[in-house]
Amino acid sequence: MSMQHHAFAIGAGKEEGITEALAWAERELGMNAKGNPDIVVLRYGLLSVEDARNVIEAASGAPLAGENKAVIIAVDRAYHEAQNALLKLFEEPPRGTHLFLVLPNLGGLLPTLRSRVQTLHRDNSRREPIISSEAETFLKAGKEKRSAMIKKIAEHKAGDAASAREEAIALLNGIEAAAYTRCESLTFTPEIEALFEDIATMRGHLYDRSAPVKMILEHLAIVVPTDLV
């Protein structure tokens, strides 16, 4: 792998992604992970703007024991505002610092952040993102079936708003995975770019306890391209 790259994205679960980043740092930089003060591992559930600031602070210091420093940020999800806060850091990391952003699905990356990272794959192999069966069904469905699915999520779970939001977020994640797959196999079109931005916005709204789940999913049904699957 070319040594000119200093910012990477890994599509994997937290621990798997951390293992991949550590293996790269050992292989390419000769860094031993055990007891190395120049390897920083940060784990978050939902990456917030405040968390992003902590990441920037952790990355700002010079290496302590050698010429290189590795900062691994493993998250479940990331607010788009938090991703925007990381743009400058990922565009120009401090000298000697290598950044690794681990996410379960790289389709959640904003286009502006995606353009600043190289996707890191184990042994140069490609990992296909997981597209849920619900997302596949939604993408292949016609207008009436999509409306029925939306109604089931939003109204049949009316007494459990948290579950409705989580189910809606899971559907968004599946749509992202499908869009990411298309980007990898075809091209990163303006339509797909707009979809990623829409999904990031919709997910942000769904974190609100009073989120209008039905309205958000109806918007999703409108903006999703018909040829993702």
pLDDT at position 118, please?
83
Top-level class of domain 7-124: alpha beta
pTM, 2 dp: 0.57
**Rounded distance between C-alpha atoms, residue 160 and residue 170, angstroms:** 16
Surface-to-core class of residue 50, CB atoms within 10 Å of its CB (0-12 exposed, 13-18 middle, 19+ buried): exposed
pLDDT value at residue 227 = 67
Q: Residue 104: what pLDDT?
A: 87
Give CA–CA dist 30/170, Å, rounded: 39
Q: Does residue 179 sit in helix, strand or coil?
A: helix
Stretch among 42-56, 127-141, 214-228 having the lowest mean pLDDT = 127-141
Sorting pLDDT into bands at 50, 70 and 90, what band is 135?
A: confident
Burial 62-93 (b: 16+ CB within 10 A, else e): ebeeeebbbbbbbbebbbbebbebbeebbeeb
Q: Is the pLDDT of residue 19 over 90?
A: yes
Q: Mean pLDDT for the chain?
A: 83
Dihedral angle sign, alpha carbons of residues 51, 55, 56, 61: positive
pLDDT band with cut points at 50, 70 and 90 for residue 126 = very low
Q: How confident is the model at residue 125 (pLDDT cuts 50, 70, 90)?
A: very low
CB burial of residue 148 (10 Å; 0-12, 13-18, 19+): exposed
| Mean pLDDT score, 184-193 | 65
- pLDDT, tens digit, 9 for 90 and up, residues 55-101: 999 999 888 888 899 999 999 988 889 999 999 999 889 989 999 99
The confidence score (pLDDT) of residue 178 equals 79
Does the pLDDT value for residue 16 go beyond 50?
yes
Give the phi and the psi of residue 44 in degrees, each rounded to 5: -140, 155
**What mean pLDDT is predicted for residues 148-167?**
77
For the segment 111-124, what is each residue's pLDDT rounded down to a tens digit? 788 878 888 765 44
Question: Is pLDDT of 228 > 80?
Answer: no
pLDDT over 50 (residue 3): no
